[in-house]
Structure 1
Amino acid sequence: MQKLKTRRSAIKRYKKTANDNYLRRRANKGHLLEKKSSSRKRKLCGHITVENTEKSIIKKFFNK
């Protein structure tokens, strides 16, 4: 059986922490930023941890 490859898109989007959690960016910060208020854009910056429901799916992408 072949060795499973790591999903490269997951490597680019998620970062694994020491406690086996994953960090991700918030949505809606990519484009159309002129009409969003400064406070809304400020709340969208930074990283947050992935919920437990998605954690099992993302863990399969990191086959290490």
Structure 2
Amino acid sequence: MSNYKLKSSSSILKRLKITRTGKLLRRKACRSHLLQKKSSKHKQKLRKVVEVKYVDVSRLALSVL
């Protein structure tokens, strides 16, 4: 039996970015539609890129690597 490499999930690769130090970055949700009722301050906060919480990193890292 030969060893083989599992494919990384392409959908997760498109949504996440890996930094040089190995952290995962993601965009915030709720920014695609129904923006008229959201305040400009709320939309401004949704623009930011944030780090994935340490609880979810181990679960997502298997799909990325």
From the CA coordinates, give the structure whose radius of gyration is larger: 2
Aligned to 1:25: 27
Question: 1:41-56 residue pairs with structure 2 within 5 A?
Answer: 41-56=43-58
RMSD: 1.0
4+ residue segments displaced more than 6 Å:
none
Q: 1:3-48 deviations in whole A, cap 9, x for unaligned?
A: 2001000111000001110000111111110111111101111200
TM-score by length of 2: 0.88
Structure 1 portions without partners, runs of 5+: none
Aligned to 2:38: 36
- SS of the aligned residue for 1:24 comes to strand
2:17 to 8, 15, 18: 15
TM-score by length of 1: 0.90
